[in-house]
């Protein structure tokens, strides 16, 4: 083949690749038809009406919102914008177990965070971890306050740009997510500009790319146990979900039985399987115990045609037995919780409180549990809808409120960062738990 012909072939292949990439990008940005968009929105609207357990508590007209959202989703320029509008639509239900998401890798790959961890503490958005060496070299470190995002006051930015898309049952869970990684999430092709303030009041700004790499966070073990002074143990339970869960707990439990007192820490435990939470609880009492009562709406078309009042299926908590053939841990216990205690971890709190096994210390939990039903949406989307209402056996609500601690202890910036900076739990809640347990043990 001549040199001239090879050049022509090369040019043709390069041009073909460029055209293909442009077409693929456009196709990935907008592949859903208007009919599919309406179908997805309508699916969300109708399934919520029939399945959402708190539908009767809505303070607005769901049908009117649906109608108002139709032109909004039709005006979206691509599939990503469309799914974000569905998220905004469903977020109006204000339920932590009712949400819209998508499975498409092309959408997720272009929607990224930056290598910073942040949290709302003492009313400030605080950097709690830096996961990139370049950012550290620029002077970005733990403890800095973020006062602006994209040159807008941080609280105004979060309220207007972030919170409308987040599904949450409580303000504390909303703030945990909205001032966390959601606050800095964006398209990989874009940067976010943050203005920081240090403890001396000095401010500086940096633009950070969403494509910037981050250090891998070490995975947390399911259980972390430490024996402290005065024969008091600290058991951190990071999740109620994982491989060989029962076996892992059993191996840890052998280290607990000789203790004089125990702190169980389920702060930032996002839940998992309530069967596992009950298994742990079964080791803490020699008597039967209850979990939560639950109910779910019934729909019988014939009854609806006769204008019957809304009907419910309700079930009282069973009486759960203590574990068999093991030593029961009957010594004093304190339970630590915070706004990151969620779902099955809150079920654990309900059982613990029903047992009357000890005080709960910290801040109100995330305030959402229940069983979602899942439906698929056009474009590889999905909606999950909470179908189950849980309460304490006496009817007291905790969904939409949170598990309220017996002793409320709010962390300061310095106390929250103490673990990261010294690898020792010097948080105020832990200190209060130790103080309380020492007092109880000394009286025995």
**Which of 27-31, 165-169, 318-322 comes out lowest in average pLDDT?**
27-31
Same fold for the pair 111-209 and 223-287+322-367+402-442 = no
**All residues at 6 or more sequence positions from 330 whose CB lies less than 8 Å from its CB, including other chains:** 284, 285, 286
What would the pLDDT profile of 216-250 be if each residue is shown by its tens digit? Answer: 887 889 999 999 999 999 999 999 999 999 999 99
How far, in Å, CA of 80 to CA of 37, rounded? 12
Domain ranges of the chain: 111-209, 223-287+322-367+402-442
Are the beta carbons of 391 and 114 closer than 8 angstroms?
Answer: no
pLDDT surpasses 90 at 128: yes
Q: How far is Cα 156 from Cα 178, in angstroms, rounded to an integer?
A: 12
Residue 30's pLDDT is 56
Q: How far is residue 329's CA from residue 60's CA, in Å, rounded to a whole number?
A: 49
User: Quick one: pLDDT at residue 419?
Assistant: 78
Q: For the residues 280-285, what does the mean pLDDT come to? A: 98
Residue carrying structure tokens 């598990």? 403
Q: Quick one: DSSP state of residue 320?
A: B
How many of the other CB atoms lie within 10 Å of CB of 274? 22
3-state SS class at 39:
helix
Going from the C-alpha of 378 to that of each of 37, 85, 265, the distances in angstroms are: 7, 14, 41
CA dist., res. 379 & res. 37, Å (int): 9
Nearest to 335 by CA among 259, 234, 417, 254: 234
50 neighbors 296 (Cβ within 8 angstroms): no
If DSSP codes are grouped into helix, strand and coil, which group holds residue 359? Answer: strand
Residue 218 is predicted with a pLDDT of 79
The answer to whether residues 97 and 170 touch, using CB atoms and an 8 Å cutoff, is no
Q: What is the per-residue DSSP string for 76-119?
A: -SSHHHHHHHHHHHHHTT--TT-EEEE--HHHHHTEE--SEEEE
**pLDDT confidence bin for 10, thresholds 50/70/90:** very low
Q: Domain 223-287+322-367+402-442: which CATH class?
A: alpha beta
CATH superfamily of 111-209: PDZ domain (2.30.42.10)
Environment class of residue 243 by beta-carbon count within 10 Å: exposed (0-12), middle (13-18) or buried (19+)? exposed
């Amino acid at each position: 083949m001549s040199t001239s012909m090879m050049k022509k072939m090369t040019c043709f292949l390069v041009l073909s690749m460029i055209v293909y990439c442009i077409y693929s990008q456009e196709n990935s940005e907008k592949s859903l038809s208007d009919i599919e968009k309406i179908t997805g929105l309508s699916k969300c609207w109708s399934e919520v009406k029939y399945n959402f357990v708190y539908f009767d508590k809505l303070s607005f007209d769901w049908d009117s919102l649906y109608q108002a959202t139709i032109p909004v989703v039709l005006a979206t320029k691509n599939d990503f914008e469309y799914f974000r509008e569905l998220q905004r639509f469903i977020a109006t239900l204000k339920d932590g177990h009712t949400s819209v998401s998508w499975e498409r890798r092309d959408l997720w790959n272009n929607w990224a965070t930056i290598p910073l961890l942040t949290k709302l503490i003492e009313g400030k958005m605080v950097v709690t971890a830096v996961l990139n060496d370049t950012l550290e070299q620029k002077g970005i470190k733990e403890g800095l306050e973020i006062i602006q995002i994209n040159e807008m006051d941080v609280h105004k930015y979060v309220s207007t740009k972030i919170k409308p898309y987040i599904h949450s049952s409580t303000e504390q869970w909303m703030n945990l997510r909205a001032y966390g990684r959601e606050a800095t999430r964006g398209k990989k092709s874009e940067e976010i500009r943050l203005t920081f303030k240090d403890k001396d009041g000095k401010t500086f700004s940096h633009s950070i790319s969403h494509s910037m790499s981050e250090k891998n966070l070490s995975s947390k073990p399911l259980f972390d146990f430490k024996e402290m002074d005065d024969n008091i143990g600290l058991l951190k339970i990071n999740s109620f979900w994982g491989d060989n869960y029962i076996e892992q707990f059993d191996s840890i439990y052998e280290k607990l039985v000789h203790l004089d007192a125990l702190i169980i820490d389920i702060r930032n435990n996002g839940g998992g399987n309530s069967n596992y939470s009950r298994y742990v609880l079964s080791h803490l009492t020699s008597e039967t115990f209850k979990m939560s009562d639950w109910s779910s709406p019934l729909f019988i078309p014939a009854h609806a045609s006769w204008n019957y009042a809304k009907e419910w299926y309700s079930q009282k908590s069973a009486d759960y037995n203590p574990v068999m053939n093991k030593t029961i841990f009957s010594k004093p216990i304190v339970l630590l919780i915070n706004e990151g205690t969620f779902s099955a971890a809150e079920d654990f709190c309900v059982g613990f409180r029903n047992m009357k096994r000890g005080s709960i210390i910290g801040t109100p939990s995330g305030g959402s549990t229940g069983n979602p039903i899942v439906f698929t949406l056009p474009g590889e989307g999905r909606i999950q809808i909470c179908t189950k209402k849980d309460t304490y056996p006496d009817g007291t609500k905790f969904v939409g409120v949170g598990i309220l601690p017996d002793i409320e202890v709010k962390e300061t910036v310095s106390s929250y960062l103490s673990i990261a900076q010294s690898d020792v739990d010097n948080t105020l809640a832990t200190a209060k738990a130790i103080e309380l347990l020492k007092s109880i043990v000394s009286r025995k």
